Amino acid sequence: MERGAVVYESSERWRAVDEYLTTTLIGEDAGLVRARRECRLAGLPDHEVAPNQGALLSLLARMRGARRVLEIGTLGGYSTIWLARAAQHVTTLEIDPEYARLALLNLERAGVADRVDVLVGPAADSLAGLVAAGAEPYDLVFIDADKPNNPRYLEASLLLTRPGSLIVADNIVRDGAVVDPASADERVQGVRRFLELLGSDPRLDVTALQTVGAKGWDGFAVALVR
């Protein structure tokens, strides 16, 4: 870093930068804004991706030329809208029936419900069902659900993709806790095991980045299936 450079370490400044980037580069439309608002009104946790992260998912899907996308963790459907606008079909998995109901409403209001299948139930069970049914391979998988099960989600994702597919996983830094091998947090341990599997699997080319922004200090991993 150059001498004299100003270092900002406040979450307020991170959020302000994200808002500036969203306003300057992205510009959420009414469907996306309403989806986020409806999630807050319904009392859903503030766990959906930030707008600039949603736009990144959309760009990755478009750059990959993704026809089929698998999303593990729907919440209120915000990231699902971004993905559905970039692909022909999205299968999204949500354990909570009320979250899934709201997601369907948000998808309909955004005009993409006809491109999305919402599977309700434990994601591991839904994934096993897709594998057993011989589902057509997915071009992009977005993992953003309960972190202790991330290793299981990776195993299923590898069965449901093909060479050239992308696997993207959110929330892999967890305010820096990921570096603590003795953490008592099962979410941290799930992410650590997940990253170890990513890094040791010869079928994958992988990187990960830490981020700061409206969602705090976190990061994401991206893997290319060889």
Q: pLDDT 10s digit of each residue in the chain, 226 long?
A: 344 444 556 789 999 999 999 999 998 999 999 999 999 999 999 999 999 999 999 999 999 999 999 999 999 999 999 999 999 999 999 999 999 999 999 999 999 999 999 999 999 999 999 999 999 999 999 999 999 999 999 999 999 999 999 999 999 999 999 999 999 999 999 999 999 999 999 999 999 999 999 999 999 999 999 9
Q: Which residue has the tokens 């997915």?
A: 138
Structure tokens given for 35: 């989806």
Q: Which segments within the chain are labelled E, that is strand?
A: 68-72, 89-94, 116-120, 140-143, 166-170, 204-213, 216-225
Domain coordinates of the chain in residue numbers?
11-225
Domain 11-225 has CATH 3.40.50.150: yes
- The whole-angstrom distance between residue 32's C-alpha and the CA centroid of its chain comes to 16
pTM over 0.75: yes
